């Protein structure tokens, strides 16, 4: 069952500098019934998270040569937010960034390029969407 019109659609925030990667994931998420917000940088992601209040965040690990997902997660945890954050990363980034991700509140890591069907299924499971 997809998310019905009478139900509150779950919102996902995509944070990735690559417009093609965002478009591919946005299309898959919208087809699955999610509402999608986008940000092209970590700073834009921080502003957008407060504006759209997403149910989950999907962020590129090494955006702008910093750990954008980790930075956003750390800032959200400091204000008491429980928004699940998933990282999308190349294999080498995932290995480098995996140390301490749980301590930052990162919910999971998907290797880039991520399989949209796998990511959608994981988000649906985490958010209780059928």
Q: What strand order describes the sheet that includes 56-60?
A: 35-39, 11-15, 56-60, 85-89, 106-111
Sign of CA dihedral 122, 85, 34, 27: negative
In a domain, 66, yes or no: yes
What span, in angstroms and rounded, lies between the C-alpha atoms of 66 and 46? 14
Q: Is residue 51 part of a domain?
A: yes
The pLDDT of residue 7 is 58
Give the tens place of pLDDT for each residue, 49-107: 888 989 999 988 665 444 555 556 565 555 446 788 887 877 555 555 555 555 556 77
| DSSP bridge partners of 38 | 14
Q: Say what the pLDDT of residue 1 is.
A: 39
Alpha helices in 16-128 (DSSP H): 19-31, 42-52, 68-78, 91-97, 101-104, 116-127
Q: Is the pLDDT of residue 18 over 50?
A: yes
| pLDDT at residue 28 is higher than 70 | yes
Confidence of residue 29 (pLDDT cuts 50, 70, 90): very high
Residues spanned by the domain of 45? 11-127
65: number of CA atoms within 13 Å, CB side? 0
What is the model's pLDDT at position 27? 96
Per the domain annotation, does 3 fall within a domain? Answer: no
Q: What is the pLDDT of residue 12?
A: 96
CATH code where residue 62 lies: 3.40.50.2300
- Examine residue 64 and state whether it is found in any structural domain, yes or no: yes
CB atoms closer than 10 angstroms to residue 108: 16
Q: Which pLDDT belongs to residue 26?
A: 96
Q: pTM score, two decimals?
A: 0.77
Q: Indicate if the pLDDT at residue 111 is higher than 70.
A: yes
More confident residue, 6 or 109: 109
In a domain? residue 5: no
Q: Please give the tally of structural domains in the chain.
A: 1
């Amino acid at each position: 069952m997809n998310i019905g019109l009478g139900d509150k659609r779950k919102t996902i925030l995509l944070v990735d500098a690559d417009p093609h990667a965002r478009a591919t994931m946005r299309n898959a998420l919208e087809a699955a019934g999610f509402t999608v917000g986008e940000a092209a940088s970590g700073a834009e992601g921080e502003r957008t998270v407060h504006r759209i209040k997403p149910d989950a965040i999907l962020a590129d690990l090494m955006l702008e040569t910093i750990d954008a997902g980790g930075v956003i997660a750390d800032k959200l945890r400091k204000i008491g937010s429980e928004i699940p954050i998933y990282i999308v990363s190349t294999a080498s980034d995932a290995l480098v960034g995996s140390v301490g991700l749980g301590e930052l509140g990162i919910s999971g890591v998907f290797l880039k390029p991520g399989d949209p069907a796998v990511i959608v299924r994981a988000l649906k499971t985490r958010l209780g969407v059928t």
